[in-house]
């Protein structure tokens, strides 16, 4: 038997099963629509205002920076534990141990410097910063 036949049958079944489920559910479900189902539910409160709120993207940028440096900490700790034992037992050179981690930390420092230069870590925008960003 040709293996492409099995792959074709699998693709056919993967399309037919969801299509069959959707068609059967459209036949079974009730067709009477209620206005109450279309209303926005806000914990038994009458919704007021627009649902779209404008959030400051500064919060997201600080959260992303936190995640990056938190992951850095999570990666550095096991690295120190592993190479502490390796230095003691195997006699691996200190340069061979420190070079990869210094490159890793260097890349993160470059990223932090870029974020600092762009003003990502500043909570308050000063007029001097606004003037500098408009001229760049």
- pLDDT at residue 7, as a whole number: 92
The string of pLDDT tens digits covering residues 24-66 is 998 998 777 777 666 666 676 776 777 677 777 777 888 888 8
The string of pLDDT tens digits covering residues 11-22 is 999 999 999 999
Mean pLDDT of 7-14: 95
- pTM of the predicted model, to two decimals? 0.47
Tell me the C-alpha distance between 14 and 96, whole Å.
51
| Domain assignment of residue 93, yes or no | yes
- pLDDT at residue 17, as a whole number: 97
| Domain assignment of residue 109, yes or no | yes
Least confident of 6-15, 56-65, 98-107, 117-126: 117-126
| Domain assignment of residue 4, yes or no | no
Q: Tokens for 82, please give them.
A: 């592993």
Least confident of 20-29, 48-57, 72-81, 109-118: 48-57
List Cβ neighbours of 87 (8 Å cut-off, separation of 6 or more): 94, 97
| Domain assignment of residue 114, yes or no | yes
Q: Tokens for 25, please give them.
A: 């559910």
Query: Average model confidence (pLDDT) for the chain?
Result: 79
Counted domains in the chain: 1
Domain that holds residue 90: 57-135
| Domain assignment of residue 37, yes or no | no
**DSSP type of residue 41:** -
Q: Which of the two residues, 116 and 55, has the higher pLDDT score? A: 116
């Amino acid at each position: 038997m040709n293996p492409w036949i099995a792959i074709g049958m699998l693709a056919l079944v993967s399309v037919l099963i969801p299509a069959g489920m959707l068609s059967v559910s459209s036949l079974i479900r009730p067709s009477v629509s209620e206005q109450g189902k279309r209303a926005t539910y806000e914990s038994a409160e009458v919704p007021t205002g627009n649902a779209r709120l404008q959030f400051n993207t500064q919060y997201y940028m600080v959260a992303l920076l936190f995640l990056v440096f938190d992951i850095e900490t999570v990666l550095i700790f096991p690295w120190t534990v592993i190479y502490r034992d390796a230095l003691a037992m195997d006699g691996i050179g200190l340069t061979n141990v420190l070079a990869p981690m210094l490159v890793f930390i260097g890349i993160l420092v470059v990223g932090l410097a870029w974020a600092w230069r762009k003003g990502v870590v500043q909570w308050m925008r000063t007029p001097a910063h606004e003037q500098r960003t408009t001229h760049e």
